Amino acid sequence: MMGIGVEILEVVKPWLESLHGYELRGEYYRTTWRDFLTSNETLIFLALLTAAGIYFGRNYLTSMPKWMGASILIILVLLSPLNTSLWGSWLDSPLIPGEYFPYFFNLEMLQRAFIAAIMVTIVAGFLGVFLLIQNLALIGDGLAHVSFGGVVVGVVYGATQPLDYALVFSIVSAILIYELQSRGILTGDAAIAIFLTGTLALGLVILRVKGGGLTTDIEGYLFGNLLLIDEVNLDRIALISVIAVVVLSVMRSAVLACAIDPLAARIQGLPVRIVGLIFAVTTAAVVVSMVQVVGALLVTALLVTPAATAKQVGHSFRSCLIWTQIFGLTSVIGGIYLSAEYDSGSGSMIALFAAVVFGIVVIGKSAIQLIIRTNVN
C-alpha cells in the first residue's frame, strides 16, 4: 500500500515530466515556453488568475484614473509573452533551464526530492507567519538543533529512520519549552536556548564517543541533502505537511487570539493551554520535516525568512500568507536550481537565495518610500 507522499508523487509525476519534455512521432522534444504558454491548462489557469486579480482588486481598479488603466493595459499587451516580435527567441527556449536542474522533473529520485521541498515550503510558510506574530522566530532554530541530537542518537544506534528519533526529541522538547514558558519558570527565549544547546551538545558528545565523528549522512542532516529523501521520508513529510496545514487552518482564530492576548482568550473560554500545546507539537513536527531539505542549521531560512519578507509588503494576515508562499517557493526553486547547476549544498543555497530575496524587497521598499516622500515634499 502506497503512503500519502508516494500517492502525491504519482499524481504530479506526469505533469512534472510534461514540463521537461514530450514524445512526438518517436522523437523526444524539450518543452518550450511557447508550448507551455499555449497549452489549454496554462490558458485556463491564466484566465482564472486574471479573474481572481480583478475580483480582489476591484476596489482599486474602480478608483484608478482611466489614463492609468489604459496605460497598464497597453504595457501588458506589449510585454505579453505571446508577443512573438519581442519574445520570439525566448519563447523557443526550454521551459526548464539549466544542464542539471531539468533532471528534477524526469528522474523519480529527484522528483521525490523536489516534491518534498515544495510541500515543506508551503507548510513552513503558513507556520512562519504564526511564529512571527507570536515573536517565536527562534523556536524553529531551537527545535532544529534539538532534532539534530535525535538524529545523532538514531544514527549511532543503528536506526533505519533517524528522523523518527528526531521527531520524538523535538515534540518532547517543544512541550517542555511551552510548559516552562507558560508557567513562568523561564521567560523569553531562555528555555529555547537551554534545550538548543543541551540537546546539540548531547548529540555531539554521543557522536564523538560512540559514532566516530562527523559522517556524510550526519552532514546531510546538518546542512540538508535532498538525495536522502526516500519514499519513507517523502511519506513522513507529506503526512506532517497535510496534518499541519489542517491544524493551522482549523485553529487559526484560536491561535491568533491566544497569541495577541492570552488573558482575554482565556476569559472568552478558549483552552489556551491546549491550543499552545497543539501549536508547539505542530511546530516541532514541521521542523523535523524540514531537516532533510535545508538542514538542522538552516531551518530558519524557510521558516522565518519568507514570512519576514512577506511582512514587508503584506498589509493583512491573509496577504502575508499569500506573499509568504510566493517568496518561499521562489527561494526553494531558485535555490535548488543554483545548487544543481553549481554543485553546492541545497540547504545553504536555498537559505542564501531567501536572504537575497529579503534584501531586495527591503531595499526596494525603502527606495519606493524615499521617492514618495521626496515627491510629496
- Using one digit for the tens of pLDDT, what is the confidence trace for 130-167? 888 888 888 888 888 888 888 888 888 877 788 888 89
Which residue, 166, 178, 173, 163, is CA-closest to 196?
Answer: 173
* Rounded Cα–Cα distance for residues 237 and 113 (Å): 11
Sole residue written with cell 523526444:
28
* Rounded Cα–Cα distance for residues 162 and 152 (Å): 7
pLDDT at 97: 87
Distance of CA 152 to the CA centre of its chain: 25
The C-alpha cell that represents 92 in the structure block: 523557443
Give the CA angle between residues 351, 276, 145 to the nearest 5°.
Answer: 35
- Burial-class residue 97 by CB neighbours within 10 Å (0-12, 13-18, 19+): exposed
120 CB neighbour count, 10 Å cutoff: 27
Mean pLDDT for 346-355 is 90
Sign of the alpha-carbon torsion through 264, 267, 270, 272: positive
Q: Is the pLDDT of residue 79 over 60?
A: no
pLDDT at 281: 92
How far apart are the two ends of the chain, measured CA to CA in Å? 68
Sign of the alpha-carbon torsion through 364, 366, 372, 377: negative
pLDDT at 324: 93
pLDDT at 160: 79
Mean pLDDT for 6-26 is 86
SS (H, E, C) 163-184: HHHHHHHHHHHHHHHHHHHHCC
The secondary structure of the chain in percent helix, strand, coil, rounded to multiples of 5, reads: 80, 5, 15
* Rounded Cα–Cα distance for residues 365 and 312 (Å): 8
pLDDT band at 83 (very low <50, low <70, confident <90, very high): low
Sign of the alpha-carbon torsion through 66, 68, 71, 75: negative
pLDDT at 335: 92
Average pLDDT, the chain: 83
Domains of the chain: 4-91 (no CATH), 102-370 (1.10.3470.10)
The C-alpha cell that represents 5 in the structure block: 507522499
Instruction: Specify the 3-state DSSP secondary structure of 215.
Output: coil
Distance of CA 206 to the CA centre of its chain: 31
Q: Spell out a b/e string for 159-168, using b for 16 or more CB atoms within 10 Å of the CB, else e.
A: eeebbbbbbb
Q: Is the pLDDT of residue 253 over 80?
A: yes
The C-alpha cell that represents 100 in the structure block: 542539471
186 φ/ψ angles, rounded to the nearest 5 degrees = -130, 145
* Rounded Cα–Cα distance for residues 282 and 272 (Å): 15
Mean pLDDT for 127-132 is 90
Contacts of 363 (CB under 8 A, 6+ apart): none
Q: Are 191 and 180 in contact (CB under 8 A)?
A: yes
pLDDT at 56: 62
Number of helices (H) and strands (E) in the chain: give both, helices first: 19, 2
Which residue, 238, 249, 247, is CA-closest to 115?
Answer: 238
Mean pLDDT for 302-326 is 88
Which residue, 279, 314, 334, 292, is CA-closest to 120?
Answer: 292
pLDDT at 247: 92
Q: Is the pLDDT of residue 1 over 70?
A: no
Q: What is the DSSP letter of 102?
A: G
The C-alpha cell that represents 3 in the structure block: 503512503
pLDDT band at 296 (very low <50, low <70, confident <90, very high): confident
pLDDT at 284: 92
pLDDT band at 49 (very low <50, low <70, confident <90, very high): confident
Mean pLDDT for 283-305 is 86
Q: Are 309 and 327 in contact (CB under 8 A)?
A: yes
